[in-house]
Amino acid sequence: MAKKKQVITTPDAAPPGGPYSHAVIAGDFVYLAGATPHRTDRSLVDGPFEEQARATFDNLVTVAKAAGSSLADAVQARVYLRDLDDFQAMNGIFQEYFGDEPPVRTTIQADLPGFLIEVDAVLYKPAE
């Protein structure tokens, strides 16, 4: 019998900030935890919004790869912004990472603790 879920962690992305996994594969889906602009040593990429956003999406890319997938497989993304004035900049960077067939998305303003953006995603990856 196949495993019901598979926990994914990778040393190549910022470590989780609490008791949760980088990702979980369940059936045909990969659930990526919220990625933030932190480095693998837990230090914050403390630059302008664009630098923090790219670091965040790079962490998502790394975790998706560790799960045997990519952001091209994304069916849903949720973006949390500290300041909605960064919405247009985020849109441009989002398109760089998700391309011409982006997933559905929700973007909300959130009281993020010390950083400007957090992003989670759900990927579709048919079981082998």
Phi, psi of 92 (to 5 degrees): -65, -45
Integer Cα distance of 61 and 63 in angstroms: 6
pLDDT tens-place string over residues 96-126: 999 999 999 999 999 999 999 999 999 999 8
pTM of the model: 0.94
- The answer to whether the CB of 119 falls within 8 A of the CB of 35 is yes
The full DSSP string for 14-73 is PPPSSS--SEEEETTEEEEEEE-SB-TTS-B--S-HHHHHHHHHHHHHHHHHHTT--GGG
In one letter, which amino acid is 4? K
pLDDT tens-place string over residues 45-70: 999 999 999 999 999 999 999 999 99
Integer Cα distance of 19 and 33 in angstroms: 11
- Sequence length of the chain is 128
Complete domains list, the chain, with CATH = 6-124 (3.30.1330.40)
